[in-house]
Every structure is written in structure tokens, then in C-alpha cells.
Structure 1
């Protein structure tokens, strides 16, 4: 097995959005990207909905439950439950979109669907929003990140600032306090030979750099007009903490549909 195949294949491609601003400050880069109507149609046709609802697992569950129903009343019971399943919340849909776009455009490799870890549909799991591997140039690095969704008119929106804002969360991820916990979570979910090889490569880089060689992603999902101030000033703050060999990418994706409609836009409830 060559090095490239050992650290993961190429993800299915989604058409690129339109980059409307960007910049670099040391080891931190940032960009604002408009998602066109064509890109939105591609996403809604499959990968976005799949990531929101873990549809393969949902279909398997529904098929199994229906096979266990032996009477009309039991079948109706299952159908009623499916019809009453609540929509995911907009922030969950935004998080799933970030995962899909990072996979397609920035070399992210997800070894597990986070939707499977939710105990309830509306649960917010503790820890980093994004935990995976970043695959590029025949190698892999640990990937940690945060996702925020906002329709607030202010630039930057409140989710980017303050002690609970994205930048402070990324600064904490740049430290080493939570790395072992996140790596333990990730390692236990690397179930294929490909994922195990990629994890081994990434963990080796982490050890050799004494915890510094990682990739951070900060993702802002918006339904507003693109505004460079959403990221530029915040990137300058983050650049004081993130230095080589660590890297961070801040990305704002601007959607042409209102945030409150995102769950309906992906239609994740149709599991057959």
C-alpha cells in the first residue's frame, strides 16, 4: 500500500462556491465563500442530508423495525413514530454542511458520523464540534475545529466573540489540554485499515511536534450578505496563538436560503 492510499482516498467533489474575500496572517488563513444556487442543489440532492441525518443508519433502523412488526397495529406504531420525528435544528444542519464542505474542498477525513453519538435529536455533544483527520500531500494531521451558524446582521456575529465564541474555543483547541481526550475518541472510531493508517500518521506528527502539528478549522455558516469583518479581525486575534507547524483556516460560507429553513431544505426526514 502506497503512502497516498494509506491516508485516505479522494472524497466525491462538490462544485466550488465563489470566494469573495480572503487573507493570511502567519499560520492563519481565512476566506468568505458564497454558495451558489447550483452548489445548493448539489448539496441538497444527497451529501448534506446524508450527513445531517446519518441516513444509511436511519434507513437500516427503519427497515429492521418494520421487519419486526407482525401486526397492522405494530406497523402503524412504527409509522406514527417516524411521522413524529422532529426536524434537526438549524445549527445541526449548519454543522453537517461544514463537515461536507471540509471533506470535499479541504481534505477532511471523517471516520465517524457525529449524528450517531447523539442521545437525543436535539442534543449538543460536549467537546470540539469537529474531530477528524486532514489528509493532504500523502500525509495526515489531526483535525480539530468549531462550527457556528448565525443569521445575526452584525459583523462579526456574536458567535465569533466572547469567552464562548469561536476564536476563544479555537485558542483552547490550540493548547494541549483536550488533545488526548479527542484523540482517544478518534482512535476508537478508526475501524478500517485506511483510517487506522491515517490516524497513526497524524498521531506520529503530533508526537514529533510535541502537540503542535495539527490543523484547526473554524467554520461560520451564514444566511447574510458576505462581509470581510466576519473573519478578518478575528483571524488576527487567532494568529497570536496559532503558529507553525500548526495551521488554522477560518471559513465563512454564505447561503442563499434563510437559516430557519435549512432543515427543510435538506429534507432529511425521508428515510424510506
Structure 2
């Protein structure tokens, strides 16, 4: 744990959280990690960047402003910026999961999902997580789902519900139905020779195993007290479907910050577009 991204430099080092429970059932492992206040401080900048694609957005805004030649046009750009919706708390949950998987599990994201938002209520089809898992000099495809929840019930409905609970979604990701779409999406976003090489290594493993050799991640982001029942039962259910060489990892991250305040917390003190 704690290894930086092996392909593109990764995010700043983040102190380890506190692993409060762990378990395994066949090809499925699960763990609960409590994130301390100190860890959350270190996460703040990369979390906000991932959720809002801040650097790219800042460049686009600067370019748009440079195109304005009158006060009226400048005012219109201000209106555009004011009308842009802020990411939702569940989008911050997804962004946090991406940052943590990148830091602790060798995940490589070839694209920031914030760039794919096309509407105010954007929720893109397919897997929440599509990337590569790079470790020990090799790469595998990475597919996954992220759920955020404040529900007191353990496990929360977002994990066990049907048809859109995390476990049911992960089961569907073990099937071939959407794999070609995800493979194409990922390949189109390879921008460097290093990424292309890693993608081809992962795709080769996937093909040689007839679509079975990949990593499946299920991430639960919580603002509640840690309970092993959040994942132990769901993991046993998923283990009925996931078999080697496929491997699945379920992780619950427990935050000391209320879910409703995640957007405010992540962006507080982080520079905006000015």
C-alpha cells in the first residue's frame, strides 16, 4: 500500500488511512479504511482537482476570456460560468475513490470523468471506473463502481439494492456485454506511448483469458461509523460470480466529514477560476 502511480507520476503522497477490517472469499477481498482528519487534509487538493478537472477548466476559461473583445462579451462569459452546475456530492465520492485507488492500488486513469459531463444531471452509462491497474511491471484492465451513502443501515441499500446496487452492477461487469464498449472508450483515451503500451499489455491478458483476467473494484464512500457488515455479506454474494483469474476488491472508506459537505470541504482553500 502507499505506492505512487507507476505510469504517469500519480497524485501527491497521502498518508495511509486506518484499516479497520478486512476479509477474503475466493477471488474477492474486502476491507474497511477509516480516513483521519490529517489524511483528509492531504486529500483536499487532489480530490478537488479530480472532481472538477480544475486545471483543464482553468485553461478553457482563460481561453474563452481571451476571445472576448467587449464588456458585453466579458459579462456573457461571466453568465456562462455562473450557470455551470457544481459537481454533486456523489460525484465527489467517485472522485475521491479514484484518487485513493490511484494511490493505494496502482490505478491509472487515462481521462478525467469530469470532462465527460454533458448535462446538468450527467450520469454516464457503463462503469463508474474504467482504467488500468499497474503493478509488478504489468497491467490489467480495471472496471468498477462507486457508491456514496449516509444511510445508517448496514449494508446500505446502494450496495445491496437491485437492479442498481453496487453488487448487482459489479456482477454485470463480469459479463461480456459491455466489455467491448469499455475497451474502446479506454483505448481512445490513450494519449502517450506509455499508456498505449500499458493498455495493450492489459488487453492482451484480457484476450488470452477469454475476457476473465481483469480487476473489479467496488468502492463505498461513507460518513458513518465503520461496520464490517457493510461489505462482508455483499462480498460473499459477489464471490459466487467472481472467479479467478478475475479478482475483485471491495473497499469502504469512512470519512470524518458529512456527505452533504463534501463539495464545500474539498474546494475550501482551493483556487478557483478567478
* Fold match by TM threshold 0.5: yes
Unpaired stretches in structure 2, ≥5 consecutive residues: none
Q: Distance in 1 between matches of 2:126 and 2:61?
A: 30
Root mean square deviation, CA, Å: 1.7
Q: Distance in 2 between matches of 1:181 and 1:76?
A: 41
**Residue correspondences, number:** 267
Question: What secondary structure is seen at the aligned counterpart in 1 of 2:29?
Answer: strand
Question: What secondary structure is seen at the aligned counterpart in 2 of 1:42?
Answer: helix
Aligned to 2:177: 177
Aligned to 2:122: 123
Q: Distance in 2 between matches of 1:25 and 1:159?
A: 21
Q: 1:50 to 1:193 in 2, by over 3 A?
A: same
Q: TM-score of the superposition, structure 2-length normalised? A: 0.93
Spell out the pairing of 1:62-211 with structure 2 (5 A cutoff).
62-161=61-160, 162-211=162-211
Offset at residue 77 of structure 1 (A): 2.4
Offset at residue 34 of structure 1 (A): 0.7
Q: 1:194 to 1:12 in 2, by over 3 A?
A: farther
Contact 1:7 1:139 (8 Å CA) reproduced: no
After the TM superposition, which parts of structure 1 deviate over 3 Å for at least 4 consecutive aligned residues? 5-12
Question: What secondary structure is seen at the aligned counterpart in 2 of 1:100?
Answer: helix
Spell out the pairing of 1:204-219 with structure 2 (5 A cutoff).
204-219=204-219
Aligned to 2:250: 250
Contact 2:7 2:108 (8 Å CA) reproduced: no
Q: Distance in 2 between matches of 1:173 and 1:113?
A: 21
Q: Distance in 2 between matches of 1:164 and 1:207?
A: 28
Offset at residue 16 of structure 1 (A): 1.1
Offset at residue 198 of structure 1 (A): 0.4
Offset at residue 271 of structure 1 (A): 2.6
Q: Distance in 2 between matches of 1:202 and 1:263?
A: 34
Offset at residue 84 of structure 1 (A): 4.0
Aligned to 1:21: 21
Question: What secondary structure is seen at the aligned counterpart in 2 of 1:48?
Answer: helix
Question: What secondary structure is seen at the aligned counterpart in 2 of 1:86?
Answer: coil
Question: What secondary structure is seen at the aligned counterpart in 2 of 1:87?
Answer: coil
Aligned to 1:224: 224
Contact 1:89 1:122 (8 Å CA) reproduced: no
Q: 1:269 to 1:129 in 2, by over 3 A?
A: farther
Offset at residue 227 of structure 1 (A): 0.7
Question: What secondary structure is seen at the aligned counterpart in 2 of 1:19?
Answer: strand
Offset at residue 78 of structure 1 (A): 1.9
Offset at residue 8 of structure 1 (A): 5.5
Question: What secondary structure is seen at the aligned counterpart in 1 of 2:100?
Answer: helix
Contact 1:223 1:258 (8 Å CA) reproduced: yes
Offset at residue 17 of structure 1 (A): 0.8
